Amino acid sequence: MNAISSIGSQSPMAVSGAQPMTMMSPPPTAYLQGSLSPVAHMLSMSMDDLRSTMKQGSSLSDIASQKGVSRSSLMSVIEQSVQQGRAAQGREPISSTILDSVIGNAVDRRRGGASGSNLTTAA
């Protein structure tokens, strides 16, 4: 207890809305809201077909490759969608470095189950 009392008299601050992150946690996805619809359009797929394929374990990169679309083109469409969505909301653009990292993780992710991807349809 003495070690704790020697830290000082500052009381801990509560952080609202914070979620614990671990090395196993998925990357943040808030930046990618609304990005799946333009991807489905680019790949000439319905949203249902794209979601179904992702739920079966294919990454967006896998699906794009099967459709003859490069990973860089896929990432470019998602980045454009994200930045346009932010501009429409009167928000600042996201740094390309940060966005490239988040998008790169999302397009390469393979996972089944209900969510299927980090990308969502909400605007």
How far apart, in whole angstroms, are the C-alpha atoms of residue 65 and residue 53?
13
Torsion of CA 106, 111, 113, 115, to 10 degrees: 0
Q: What pLDDT was estimated at residue 116? A: 42
Q: Global pTM?
A: 0.65
How far apart, in whole angstroms, are the C-alpha atoms of residue 17 and residue 116?
24
If DSSP codes are grouped into helix, strand and coil, which group holds residue 2?
helix
If DSSP codes are grouped into helix, strand and coil, which group holds residue 118?
coil
DSSP output for 68-115: T--HHHHHHHHHHHHHHHHHHTTPPPPPHHHHHHHHHHHHH----TTT
Q: What pLDDT was estimated at residue 15? A: 47
Residue 11 has pLDDT above 80, yes or no: no
Domain ranges of the chain: 29-123
Please write the tens of the pLDDT for every residue from 72-117. 999 999 999 989 988 998 989 989 898 899 899 889 988 754 444 4
Look-up: residue for tokens 């209900």? 114
Q: What pLDDT was estimated at residue 26? A: 47
Q: What pLDDT was estimated at residue 51? A: 87
Please write the tens of the pLDDT for every residue from 29-76. 566 666 788 999 999 999 899 989 988 999 999 999 999 999 999 999
